[in-house]
Amino acid sequence: MTQYLYPQNLKATANLWLWGLRDFAILGIAALLSIVALVQLGWFIPAALTLCYGFLTIRMDDATVLDFIKYAVRYFISTQQYYEWR
C-alpha cells in the first residue's frame, strides 16, 4: 500500500528542512560562492553574510525570523501605539 503525503490543501509552500525551496537554493549557491571566496581569496565576509541570510530565512509556521524582527520593529519603533484613557 502506497501512502502519499501532500501539503495542507495542496496550497502550502514546499519546505526543505527549515527553509523554503527558494531560500534553500539561494543558500546553496551562496555557500558555494562563499567557499570559493574563502579558499581562493581568503575572504570571510561572504561566508558570514551567507550564515546571516540562512539564519534570517529559517521558516517556522509560515513565518521567518526576519518576519518576526520586522514585526517587532514595527510594533516597538515605527508605529504609534494607541492608548485611550477613560
The answer to whether position 42 is within a domain reads yes
| Cβ–Cβ < 8 Å for 18, 25 | no
> pLDDT tens across 35-78, in order?
999 999 999 999 999 999 999 999 888 888 999 999 999 999 88
pTM of the model as a whole? 0.71
| Cβ–Cβ < 8 Å for 46, 27 | no
The answer to whether position 84 is within a domain reads no
The answer to whether position 5 is within a domain reads no
The answer to whether position 1 is within a domain reads no
The answer to whether position 19 is within a domain reads yes
- Rounded Cα distance, 50 and 52, in Å: 5
Q: How many domains does the chain have?
A: 1
Q: By residue range, what is the domain housing residue 65? A: 14-78
- Rounded Cα distance, 38 and 32, in Å: 10
Beta bridge partners of 59: 64
The answer to whether position 85 is within a domain reads no
Q: What's the pLDDT score for residue 10? A: 65
Position 47, amino acid = A
